[in-house]
Amino acid sequence: MRAKLVAFGTLEIEGARYAHDVVIDAGRIRRRRKGRSKALRERYGHTPLSLAEEIPWGGGRLIVGTGAEGGLPIAPEVHAEAARRGIVIVALPTGDACRLLATLEPADVYAVLHATC
């Protein structure tokens, strides 16, 4: 799947540009709805990825692009839920996550990509 962080805050995936965080679920791209995670912002200093969001649990691996500088926190309960489901979380800065996506077929991609920090 062709993906890259083209600039701080902008992703390009399969030729389309996104100026917001995205979720990829078996190749289907949608906006990340992080509103319900905002209640945890004070605890983490940033809105984390939490179970309050719709996480794409469909594959054996969840790729989390943690932002241009790797600043997206992942709440511990996300790691616990992944372990319960037998899913490996691969968390790395978004540019690196995009390079990993380039090695995968779209149907094999389950990811959350943070476009800033």
49: tokens are 């990825």
Are the C-beta atoms of residues 20 and 32 closer than 8 Å to each other?
A: yes
Q: How confident is the model at residue 13 (pLDDT cuts 50, 70, 90)?
A: very high
All structural domains of the chain, each given as residue ranges with its CATH number in brackets, are 3-113 (3.40.1230.10)
What pLDDT is stored for residue 67 in this prediction? 97
Distance, CA of 51 to CA of 6 (rounded, Å): 28
Q: How confident is the model at residue 27 (pLDDT cuts 50, 70, 90)?
A: very high
Query: Is pTM, for the whole model, over 0.85?
Result: yes
Are the C-beta atoms of residues 33 and 41 closer than 8 Å to each other?
A: no
73: tokens are 């926190």
The 10s digit of each residue's pLDDT in 29-50 is 999 999 999 999 999 999 999 9
The 10s digit of each residue's pLDDT in 46-74 is 999 999 999 999 999 999 999 999 999 99
Instruction: Specify the DSSP element, H or E, that contains 78.
Output: helix 76-85
